[in-house]
Structure 1
Amino acid sequence: MLALWLPRLPTDARERTMPPELRGRPFALLRTERQRRMVVAVNRVAASAGIGPGHTLSDARALEPGLEVAEATPEADAVLLGRIADWAHRYSPWTAADEPDGVVIDITGCAHLFGNEAALAADLTGRLRAAGFAARAAIADTPAAAWGLVRFGSPEDRRRERLDGLPLAALRLPAETVEGLHALGLRRIGDLHAMPRAGLAARFGGRLLQRYDQAFGRLDEPISPRRPVPEHRERLTFAEPISTPESIAGALRHLLGRLCTGLEAAGQGVRRLRLDTHRTDQRVDDEAQSLTLGTSRPTRDPAALARLAAPLLERIDPGPGLETLVLSATETGPLIAIQTGIDGEGIDGGLAELVDRLALRLGERAVLRLVPRESWLPERCVAALPPVEVLPLPKPWPAGRPRPLRLLTPPEPIEATAPLPDDPPLQFVWRGLRHRVSRAEGPERIECEWWRPEGSLGLAVRDYYRVEDGAGRRFWLFRAGLYRPGEWPRWFLHGFLG
């Protein structure tokens, strides 16, 4: 486990955006507490003048009259820390922000990509320092040990004995617990070895023993990554940065081949891919360049996926060059062998690829399939589903119930004149235009489902009529409600019959 510590993250972030003439001057961030302006963070120059968190602004100005100040923004600092954790994915897929000023990275199986653990830590801290951040890193067998070493010890020393010499604050204990242990004469972590565990738990609670056991690996401390780590993931690092479209496309084809080989062994197909690119000049607070694409059904055909991804590659700005590409299958589905045609294509493979290309260009919600749904309500009798997803066959629409090709959503109110309660209208007015009815059929009564008291339109009972005006235009009208004393139904136009 590697613990990264950014001791002056808030002030370093501000100084990076300052004019050059203001850098190197004493600087502090403030917040208001009980009507007092309090220092919450200082830069290196202000710290060397004796200013630290907890000082009031007046005390800080007494120590350094030329102190520059600004308002603290903890929310923006948390966002920046999250971006640094995302940027650290170039070292390991398992990164987590350790607020307020750290990042935890599980580098198991990753150190050899950089030579060794020391080279990985040096590359990480070197890039951060070049970007203007004070940074330290320590590697240990547990997150708790790495956290304590990077803040209170020597990051280069990973011996168990070195943990014994660290102060008790290195166990991430509350201040009152540390003060209580100091009152007993316990100053270092090693002082706890000889103490009876039952006595420590009875006096200070189980939190002390939990932190103590986590530091020495007797108790697991799970680290939740900032983003879920995909089960199928391939990484390609280049000896020399690449920047041409041909080289990027070739690298992607290579990654797709390796990824699909792993998916085949697992009996899986990809449903969603993400390509993360890392530029040589990418700053730690820059948004990472990532491309995502989805498929209508699970697939592991590298050639088809490469064709699908080709238009997206134009969005990548390689700048001076890309040094690492990471391809992840963020969503997969079961895929077993299927019968193919003589030409080697699946029975509907061409259709699936066409749907994927249309969805990539128009959006996933723009390419859908309409299927019947078991509901008499016109606005609910059709469901929009993915085009090629295999689902149980729905029941067909009932025969003998003509329905319009076009529905109005929502139905538009009209003024209608009917001689008797159940008779079709003689005429109606829609959008200021009067239509005289020459032919009519109906009524067809539709009531809302019993579990929908007023229906999706707030209309419980509807009597539908198919009518034709003198110009041959055919409409689908309905009367909402029943004739009752003191209550008059309303009329609506719901669709056109062609």
Structure 2
Amino acid sequence: MRQVVSLFLPTWPTDRLRRRLGRSAPPPDAPLILAGMEGQRRVVTAANAAARTIGLDAGMAVTQARALLPDLIIIDAEPQADREGLERLAVWSLRRYAPIIAVDPPDGLMLDITGAAHAYGGVMGLLKDMAQRLAEVETTGRAVCAPAYGAAHALARYGTEPLRVIDPLDLEQAIADLPLGALRLDRAIVSALSQLGLETIADLEAMPRASLALRFGSGPGLRLDQVYGRVSEPFEPVLPPEAIEVERHFAEPIGAPETLARYTHKLVDALCQQLEEAGVGARRLDLRFHRVDNRIEAIRAGLSKPGRDPKQMGRLLCDRIETVDPGFGVEKMALCAPQTEPLGLRTISHLGETPRADVAALVDILGNRVGEERLYRIAARESDIPERSVIRIAPMADPTLLRWPEHWPRPARLFKRPQPIDTLALLPDHPPVHFVWRGIRRKVKRADGPERIYGEWHVSEEEWLSVRDYFLLEDETGTRYWVFRQGDGMDSATGSQGWFLHGLFA
């Protein structure tokens, strides 16, 4: 099933302008419009959210807008800079989200995320990550994923939900009540159709196709087919300006998986040669299959560290060829490395030293199967509080210099939240005699402790006074537990004096 996302940026020109002006930008709540020439008229080309709330929108004459609000802030539009900004956003999204991305001027992007959403826990996870990162740079965004780009485009601009995933079975119902303006038709055609009593997409779909084409041409019928996914939309994906790419054209279309795999390895060999000449290694690979029906299928593979091993790269790509639908045949294949990094030299010793195991190949295979975001390594972080002393880092990240204390052991499994237990212990510093956890009473055979850990003073005044006394306990079955008492056992200001289980030892 194809998954296409339309990213709509309703206030992109004004958001981009605010980022460019920085501290000299007008206040966010001040009405702001951008003005440009349309023939002999000076019209509004974009308006921020504050201006839209009072009825100012694109297409309105500037004189009319100024009459409605004399204190209106008016700045000349920069359409070329807006387009270049969209292209930069598309290149950034290409490296992060999907192998096929195209600019949809003047206020959006098109992303084909088929097979790429698993890295974010699903399509909705990808949309939320996209919206969150746009919000961090003060940019408003709406994103809709649908089986057809025409539907995604329409719902992103005329739908009610800012983030939405459309199931193929719900596509017809989702777009039925949208206005005709959502079909990307000329205003004159929309106006003429409205005079005939046609207001929604469902109304237009119910019309006889022959009479519709006779009066209005092929445009309305084509837009209907695109919004329902009956025909595909050709588009030109963006490429980073520094991307290294190789491609191969075929005199006759190919489609057999074995043939696609054979030419994939040939493209990998050619790409690795160019990577070597450039002195870089690939961190991400995008393999695109251009079908004879103008549709593009793509495969994305990531590497945990820069590399140009043709065997490993070919294996990563061929593992996912079965997900490619060649249709009536593939007439062109293109392999691109949109993300590269300098590749350093590796010293090989012949002095009998034990070679260090390289797990990068295993990390690459797992990352492309379950998602790169789901693979991580635990490292130490400077903090006395146990749950704050660990951090997730990339599997192949450089080792950190921090280490956990060696004089007190730490459990292999640390709970995200300490779990309360019922126990019996002599105060103030004796270990528990027994404790009840998850409804089971466990008798303590051996114990070590306490290890006192104080709260971090810079977090809050309450934490500065808090105390934890940790004990390492072993029950009759040999299972070892890491428990603590909240407080010093005497002063209630140091904690609730309750007992908690915080981790399990291997």
Q: Deviations over 1:32-52 (max 9, x none)?
A: 8xxxxx9898999xx9xxx84
Q: Deviations over 1:57-103 (max 9, x none)?
A: 4x4369xxxx95779x9xx99x96999998322xxx55xxxxxxxxx
Q: 1: distance between equivalents of 2:406 and 2:292?
A: 65
* 1:249 is aligned to 2:247: no
Residue 431 of structure 1 deviates from its aligned partner by 1.6
Residue 263 of structure 1 deviates from its aligned partner by 1.9
* Superposition CA RMSD, Å: 4.7
* 1:444 is aligned to 2:456: no
Residue 401 of structure 1 deviates from its aligned partner by 0.6
Q: 1: distance between equivalents of 2:279 and 2:233?
A: 30
* 1:279 is aligned to 2:291: yes
Q: 2: distance between equivalents of 1:465 and 1:80?
A: 64
Residue 387 of structure 1 deviates from its aligned partner by 3.2
* 1:359 is aligned to 2:371: no
Does structure 2 conserve the Cα–Cα contact (< 8 Å) formed by 1:339 and 1:347? no
* 1:481 is aligned to 2:487: yes
Does structure 2 conserve the Cα–Cα contact (< 8 Å) formed by 1:278 and 1:325? yes
Residue 300 of structure 1 deviates from its aligned partner by 1.4
2:191 aligned residue (54, 66, 69) = 54
Residue 274 of structure 1 deviates from its aligned partner by 0.8
Q: Aligned pair in 2 of structure 1 residues 356, 492: CA closer, same or farther (>3 Å)?
A: same
Q: Deviations over 1:150-200 (max 9, x none)?
A: xxxxxxxxxxxxxxxxxxxxxxxxxxxxxxxxxxxxxxxxxxxxxxxxxxx
Q: 2: distance between equivalents of 1:247 and 1:464?
A: 62
Residue 403 of structure 1 deviates from its aligned partner by 2.0
Q: 2: distance between equivalents of 1:320 and 1:56?
A: 36
2:471 aligned residue (465, 471, 474) = 465
Q: 2: distance between equivalents of 1:478 and 1:299?
A: 47
Instruction: Give the secondary structure class of the aligned counterpart of 2:235.
Output: helix
Max Rg structure = 1
TM-score normalised over the length of structure 1? 0.52
Residue in 2 that maps onto 1:168? none
Residue 374 of structure 1 deviates from its aligned partner by 3.0
Q: Aligned pair in 2 of structure 1 residues 248, 488: CA closer, same or farther (>3 Å)?
A: closer
Does structure 2 conserve the Cα–Cα contact (< 8 Å) formed by 1:462 and 1:478? yes
Instruction: Give the secondary structure class of the aligned counterpart of 1:88.
Output: coil
* 1:239 is aligned to 2:251: yes
Residue in 1 that maps onto 2:310? 302
Q: 2: distance between equivalents of 1:42 and 1:400?
A: 69
1:374 aligned residue (370, 382, 392) = 382
Q: 1: distance between equivalents of 2:475 and 2:183?
A: 78
Q: 1: distance between equivalents of 2:327 and 2:407?
A: 64
Residue segments in structure 1 that go unaligned for 5+ positions in a row: 15-28, 33-37, 95-226
Does structure 2 conserve the Cα–Cα contact (< 8 Å) formed by 1:30 and 1:70? no
Instruction: Give the secondary structure class of the aligned counterpart of 1:87.
Output: coil
Does structure 2 conserve the Cα–Cα contact (< 8 Å) formed by 1:373 and 1:394? no
Q: 2: distance between equivalents of 1:232 and 1:412?
A: 52
Instruction: Give the secondary structure class of the aligned counterpart of 2:359.
Output: helix
Residue 479 of structure 1 deviates from its aligned partner by 0.9
Instruction: Give the secondary structure class of the aligned counterpart of 1:370.
Output: strand
Does structure 1 conserve the Cα–Cα contact (< 8 Å) formed by 2:150 and 2:229? no
Instruction: Give the secondary structure class of the aligned counterpart of 2:323.
Output: coil
Q: 2: distance between equivalents of 1:259 and 1:455?
A: 59
Amino acid at match of 1:444: E
Q: How many residues align?
A: 315
1:324 aligned residue (316, 322, 332) = 332
Does structure 2 conserve the Cα–Cα contact (< 8 Å) formed by 1:463 and 1:480? yes
Residues 466-475 or 427-436, more deviating? 466-475
Residue 392 of structure 1 deviates from its aligned partner by 4.8
Amino acid at match of 2:286: R
Residue in 1 that maps onto 2:299? 291
Q: 2: distance between equivalents of 1:317 and 1:4?
A: 25
Does structure 1 conserve the Cα–Cα contact (< 8 Å) formed by 2:150 and 2:228? no
Amino acid at match of 1:259: L
1:419 aligned residue (421, 426, 439) = 426
Q: Deviations over 1:199-248 (max 9, x none)?
A: xxxxxxxxxxxxxxxxxxxxxxxxxxxx6556212222211111223321
Does structure 1 conserve the Cα–Cα contact (< 8 Å) formed by 2:312 and 2:361? yes
After superposition, residues 334-353 of structure 1 pair within 5 angstroms as 334-340=342-348, 351-353=359-361
Residue in 2 that maps onto 1:204? none
TM-score normalised over the length of structure 2? 0.51
Residue segments in structure 2 that go unaligned for 5+ positions in a row: 1-102, 106-148, 155-175, 208-219
Q: 2: distance between equivalents of 1:359 and 1:39?
A: 42
Residue in 1 that maps onto 2:282? 270
Residue 464 of structure 1 deviates from its aligned partner by 0.5
Instruction: Give the secondary structure class of the aligned counterpart of 2:408.
Output: coil
Residue in 1 that maps onto 2:391? 383
Amino acid at match of 2:196: A
Q: Aligned pair in 2 of structure 1 residues 426, 340: CA closer, same or farther (>3 Å)?
A: closer
Q: 1: distance between equivalents of 2:359 and 2:492?
A: 58
